[in-house]
Structure 1
Amino acid sequence: MKLTRAALLLLSMMGLYACGGGDGDTGQDPGITPPAASGSVREALLKMDADGAAPKLNRDADVAGPDVDGNGVRDDLDAYINSLPDTELQKKALRQGYRVMRSLLLLDTMDTTAVLDGMRSSNAAIWCIYSRYDSDAKEKSGDIEKYSVNTEERYKAYALFNSAASGHSAVMPRGNGCDE
């Protein structure tokens, strides 16, 4: 059976969800403290803004961020999507991806059903992006994570979701995974 790039990505993401758990042994001597990373998350984000490596992004402490039109996508990310030269179907795939990522940051990680639903939605959104983009799909998927998880508060929320998802698996979506 020949696997497409999207299927391979989906399988690797499911592998990430399945990693973790165990006895917590990192294989490192507990007496050794790893060196501190230079600079803070906030400094790295400010540098990214300053060098133009990313669109102008909301940096509020609020995990959800503003969504005036209520479409589930932060307003700054909606404006970014609208500025792209992509087709309308591609933009819909991106909106789905950003909407799902935002929902992952906000879900109750103590609710296993919500976590599993979030994983399924995430897999569908990635599948959708791969169905609508060719060589740019991996970059577009990465941008969704990078631009959505752009504050310390959002990073912590995403880490909670990933921790809750660890050890679980999700099935591949039917069809192209797209909502619209």
Structure 2
Amino acid sequence: MGNAMTPRHLGMLVSLLSLLAACGGEDPAPLQARSIEDLERQGALPVLDRSEDLGGPDADGNGVRDDIDAWIARQGGAPARQDALRQLARAFRDALLVRGDSVAAQEAAWRTTLAVSCVMARSGSGTEGADAVADMRKMSANTKARVLAYLDYSAALDGAILSLPAGDGCDE
């Protein structure tokens, strides 16, 4: 018979594919969500706001999302470093609220550049500072809406030229 597919072979193939499709068909998202919630409860991951509000809750009005403010407080360290992290959190939050305005995007990018410089200046090492900046970016853009807003901000900066700040970039 050679390599020809007979109706019998075709039937077996369809049956096998149907069986494979039926196996493991559970949605992995609930398991993943449970795992994230477990890690949050255990303190391995910060408990982050997942609301649709781009800015997120800010009960004390300091410009920093409450969940990120709590994470900064848990980091401990020198008050000057915590101030630097809050400055960065405010800058990232502002970037999410740009909504395609290129002038606002450039202003937010300048504030972000200053804040990154401040975090780097007030961190114990370059690695510690870079890790803090990366963590803050991930926490700030932790929902689909926030990721899309960050991408819009980035697109609004297309072609923009920014310089490095003089000094440490810190507000305080």
Structure 1 residue 74, shift from structure 2 partner: 0.4
Residue 130 of structure 1 is matched in structure 2 by 120
**In the alignment, which residue of structure 1 is the partner of 2:74?**
83
Show the 5 A alignment for 1:12-161: 47-52=35-40, 53-109=44-100, 111-133=101-123, 134=125, 135-161=127-153
CA contact 1:116–1:165 (8 Å) conserved in 2: yes
CA RMSD of aligned residues (A): 2.2
On the 8 A contact 2:99/2:149 being kept in 1, the answer is no
Contact in 2 for aligned 1:49/1:55 (Cα 8 Å): no
The structural deviation recorded for 1:107 is: 1.5
Contact 1:57 1:77 in 2 (8 A): yes
TM-score (norm 1): 0.71
Residues 44-63 of structure 1 show CA distances to partners (whole Å, capped at 9, x for unaligned) of 67644433442111111111
Deviations 1:119-145, CA, capped at 9 Å, x for gaps? 111111111111001131111000110
Whole-Å separation in 2 of the counterparts to 1:128 and 1:115: 20
TM-score (norm 2): 0.74
Q: Could you tell me which runs of 5 or more consecutive residues in structure 2 were left unpaired when the two chains were aligned.
A: 1-27
Query: Is the alpha carbon distance of 1:90 and 1:119 closer, same or farther for their aligned partners in structure 2, counting shifts above 3 Å?
Result: same
Q: Give the aligned residue type for 1:170.
A: L
Q: Map residues 158-169 of structure 1 onto 2, 5 A cutoff.
A: 158-169=150-161
SS of the equivalent of 1:65 reads coil
Partner Cα separation in structure 1 for residue 142 and residue 149 of structure 2: 11
Name the aligned partner's letter for residue 77 of structure 1: I
Equivalents in 1 of 2:33, 2:134: separation in Å?
A: 16
CA distance in 2 between counterparts of 1:166 and 1:59 reads 28
The one-letter code of the counterpart of 1:149 is A
Q: Aligned partner of 1:119: which letter? A: A
Structure 2 counterpart of 1:50, one-letter code = D
Counterpart CA distance in 2 for 1:113 and 1:46 is: 41
Higher-helix-fraction structure: 2
Larger radius of gyration: 2
Paired with 2:61 and 2:159, the residues of 1 have a C-alpha distance of 33
